[in-house]
Amino acid sequence: MLLQGRWGRMFSSVKPYENQRYASLKKECQRRKQLFEDPLFPANDDSLFYKSRIQGIQWKRPKEICDDPHLFVDGISSHDLHQGQVGNCWFVAACSSLASRESLWQKVIPDWKEQEWNPEKPESYVGIFHFQFWRFGQWLDVVIDDRLPTLHNQLIYCHSNSRNEFWCALVEKAYAKLSGCYEALDGGNTADALVDFTGGVSEPIDLTEGDYIADEAKRNVLFERVLKVHNRGGLISCSIKATSAADMEARLACGLVKGHAYAVTDVRKVRLGHGLLSFFKSEKLDMIRMRNPWGEREWNGPWSDTSEEWQKVSKSEREKMGMTVEDDGEFWMTFEDFCKYFTDIIKCRLINTSYLSIHKTWEEAVLRGAWTRNSDPLKNRCGGCINHKDTFLQNPQYVFDVKKTEDEVLISIQQKPKRTSRKEGKGENLAIGFDIHKVDHGSCIELTLDEPPHTCWSGMCGYPQVVSQIHVLAAAGLKNQDSQGGADPYVIIKCEGQKVRSPVKKNTVSPEFDIKGLFYRKKPGQPIIVQIWNHNLISDEFLGQVVLKGDPSDRQSVHTLHLQDKGNRRSNDLPGTIALRLLSSNTLTNV
């Protein structure tokens, strides 16, 4: 288990994978005047498969496939890549995104000029390459030879448009070596590749769960976030979830393919109109560009390559967007249509930790741990999920400080897969997760004691003894605040100096709040106070409150209480009632 936030690490140190050092291996091959053969990833079936087989495969060096091989032909582009005979569209989509970011691909493909074939110095070429990937908090330098699997003299895996361009095939081979074999790349996760290419933090978003197609305001916020990730150099991928095996790679009538990863290659607000009128109108459309790793089969709806909608955009704007009408797998959509058809999007954010940066920076901590079993509950570190309440708190725990209320926290948890082998078969990731709880202040460390150490302050400060959850459902019969007979109420829940506030409900005396507050209470004798206020432009007005004990023995499902005034006045001297649920327990994991 690796729990971390990250970046700044684009320029961090690199560790040679399996202790293979590219420079010394190349120098030795040049001295011996022989081509490099990688003993750790041999040119045989063990490097290709776990169990399945393809007959007739021959491993060939680029010089045996074409006359004039190169790493790059006419530069590097997201159009270079085509998926081969392994189901790794997720990896190819990530490579397409990578190719559009010079600062990123030059990290993955280091010394690319030195690694390129040099026709003026043919003796310097010894068939060795190296590539770098981020794995579990460390950049790894992976060495390979240039022998590639072919069938009928054609590359069977990832290949370029140009027969003599090999960067994508070689990057894929290095990634396959890191993963165990080529078959290990079948049916992977785009987020993993995006992180491995950047050292960034991936954020998956379920577009159907968020209902972005129906909620325009929510969709606009999402677009701004996606645009920010793109503009700040991050990588993005998307897909349409397949709900059955028959759905996998099924083509929809609109041209899109289910169960298939697409690379997002551009995000922008497109100016509509022609000439000066377009600048005065300032009408813009939220748009997103994607590429199918197959290099064909595009979206055929509005704003597809040949659609009439492009007449709304000036020629200069189309040129700026790099708009083409070729069947190259790349196409534009409005963000609204994107949210209508696609079900998932993955944003990979680059997190800047440099103290010299003029942009927003992050503090980073990397912690490594493991779920380990021990018969002693105080030493056991595999307590299971929250369903196992008796042992849940025996899981590894980490505490960190959020110094300001406006601070944002990113948490990324990764697991190292078991080392794969043909005998064991392909290993699947375990289902893991984490919970976040608000506790006392601390710095970012692992908690290794069963409870905090007892000091002279322990008795004075105390530790939480009771956990209480207050769920305010609604209110009714509140005091009218204006001539229209309405109010703009909101709720504040207070407990031991902490408080939770609801959004304001507009123009109602019977609001539905549906707001929860969770409190870990050191002093169970102190009450929980729930207040209702009316929002005004100048000064908010108190409408009433209820005072709760939060006794663990009180398990009534729903309380409907009359609002009270502050102080010792009668309990029903203010108009209105409030409905809420209260759950308290002496066991801190029960709520």
Which residues are designated catalytic? Answer: 89, 260, 292
Give the neighbor-by-neighbor strand order of the sheet with 466-476: 512-521, 466-476, 577-585, 559-562
Q: Are 426 and 183 in contact (CB under 8 A)?
A: yes
- The string over 71-107, giving b where at least 16 C-beta atoms fall within 10 Å of a residue's C-beta and e elsewhere, is bbbeebbbbbbbbbebbbbbbbbbbbbbbbbeebbeb
**Cβ(303)–Cβ(254) under 8 Å?**
no
| Residue 540, helix vs strand vs coil | coil
The whole-angstrom distance between residue 324's C-alpha and the CA centroid of its chain comes to 30
Place of tokens 């009270």: 564
Q: Which two tokens stand for residue 284?
A: 């813009």
> 261 with 239: CB under 8 angstroms?
yes
139 contacts: CB under 8 Å, gap ≥ 6: 9, 12, 13, 14, 15, 107, 132, 133, 199
- CB atoms < 10 A from the CB of 418, how many? 11
Dihedrals phi, psi of 407, to nearest 5 degrees: -65, 145
Contact 139, 199 (CB under 8 A): yes
CA angle 188, 190, 194 (to 5 degrees): 130
| 149, 23 contact by CB (below 8 A) | no
Per DSSP, 91 falls in state H
Structure tokens at 561: 């209480």
Q: Are 159 and 59 in contact (CB under 8 A)?
A: no
Cβ atoms 557, 508 nearer than 8 A: no
